Amino acid sequence: MPVSNEKDLLLTSFHLGDLRLPNRVVMAPMARVRAAEGGLATASMATYYAQRASAGLIVTEGVQPSLIGQSNPGTPGLHTDAQTDSWRQVTGAVHANGGRIFAQLMHGGRVSHPATSGQRPIGPSEIAGEGSVFTVGGPQPMPVPRALITHEVREQAESFAAAGRRAMTAGFDGVELHGANGYLIQQFLSTNANLRTDRYGGSIRNRIRFAVEAVTSTVEAVGAARTGIRLSPDAGIWGVREADASALYTALLAELAPLGLAYIHVIASVDDEVLIAMRKAWPDAMIVNPNHPLNTARSDRAAAERWLRHGADLISFGRAFIGNPDLVERLRRGLPLADEDPAYYYGGGDNGYTTYSSYREDSVESSLPTEEDLAARGRS
């Protein structure tokens, strides 16, 4: 059946790597800070992701590939046997509901604190990030990180591959490297967080080296069809800047293209022209998230359709998935979206996490008579 418009296209199937997605709606990675002690995934996390398994693809919250890579407390990991085992309940629940799920591998780099990891954060250079980071004792200014010695840089790149292997053992369909939002990969790409003078700093060729090594190692570990990367060109988060974003990402994509990745996942953090140029330069699948990371508004169907017209293959939705576990069906039927409660974004129990219902359940619930209705009927 021919696709008549972008609305239809959003809901058509797509082959991503070796997966067939039933639609082009991607659940974007979102920190929910509900892991158990030791960075373990929980039964509630399994319920949360399984509820949203109608997405063409789910990308999990950021998962630290090592203890030194942990950015915030209450986040899950993939660097111990216990953590790996704990994720099986999540992947199993998603697959049982017919879904597909990638683990996002996120190394915080300098965006961390000793109160969280027990170690001094690391980064490309001894330059602290801007702003405060969450700790168990409340927000704290980010300390000056320890600059990695040249031979240590490769070790951090390999940590993504090691976590990728664990992800496969845990039953994930693939992994996404978090190269966005001011974390370690983007710190190396930066012109102000990376002031190195060795082979990992200075020129564009050198600044993209860490990203290329991390992705290449992961591809060798889990396969190209199971590997993606998320990027946010010059988003400015945590003080990370890229003064040469257009040339930088042109060079990065040129190095990554021969690997045959499942996708790149790009956030609309710069002018459209840069992202459209990235689309033209990238030969494989491209996911676009229409919102700048610092924009608190939800992405909507209009934004999705706009980026499909610009050549995106899939569209990722973040906040809209929090309050709407049945987001795909709501988009399909043109139903209104429920509001999510920001008070429950990060941490806490199941309330504001697994307690959002589908539109059908909302409708049935709202149609049930209240006690006042029954009392009024008894008086009539």
* pLDDT score, position 7: 57
Residues contacting 82, CB < 8 A, separation 6+: 38, 40
* pLDDT score, position 380: 34
Mean pLDDT, residues 38-64 taken together = 98
Q: Give the model's confidence band at 93: pLDDT under 50 very low, under 70 low, under 90 confident, else very high.
A: very high
| 171 vs 89: CA distance, rounded Å | 9
261-298 tens-digit pLDDT? 999 999 999 999 999 999 999 999 999 999 877 777 78
Mean pLDDT of the chain: 93
> Which of 190, 162, 191 has its CA nearest to residue 177?
162
At residue 5, does pLDDT exceed 90?
no
Number of other residues whose CB lies within 10 A of the CB of residue 271: 13
Which residues carry out catalysis?
183
Number of other residues whose CB lies within 10 A of the CB of residue 205: 11
CB 76 within 8 A of CB 85: no
Q: Give the model's confidence band at 368: pLDDT under 50 very low, under 70 low, under 90 confident, else very high.
A: very low
Mean pLDDT, residues 190-203 taken together = 98
CB 242 within 8 A of CB 191: yes
At residue 24, does pLDDT exceed 70?
yes
Mean pLDDT, residues 43-60 taken together = 98
Query: DSSP 3-state assignment of 329?
Result: helix
Structure tokens at 290: 């229409």
Q: Give the model's confidence band at 6: pLDDT under 50 very low, under 70 low, under 90 confident, else very high.
A: low
Structure tokens at 305: 């359709």
At residue 363, does pLDDT exceed 60?
no
| 77 vs 179: CA distance, rounded Å | 17
* pLDDT score, position 197: 98
At residue 371, does pLDDT exceed 70?
no
Residues contacting 339, CB < 8 A, separation 6+: 323
| 67 vs 88: CA distance, rounded Å | 20
Mean pLDDT, residues 131-153 taken together = 96
At residue 364, does pLDDT exceed 60?
no
Homologous superfamily (CATH) for 6-379: Aldolase class I (3.20.20.70)
Q: If you count DSSP H runs as helices and E runs as strands, how many of each does the chain have, helices first?
A: 15, 14
- Domain boundaries, given as residue ranges, for the chain: 6-379
* pLDDT score, position 336: 94
At residue 328, does pLDDT exceed 50?
yes
Q: Give the model's confidence band at 361: pLDDT under 50 very low, under 70 low, under 90 confident, else very high.
A: low
Mean pLDDT, residues 119-135 taken together = 97
By the 10 Å C-beta count (0-12 exposed, 13-18 middle, 19+ buried), 372 is classed as exposed
At residue 15, does pLDDT exceed 80?
yes
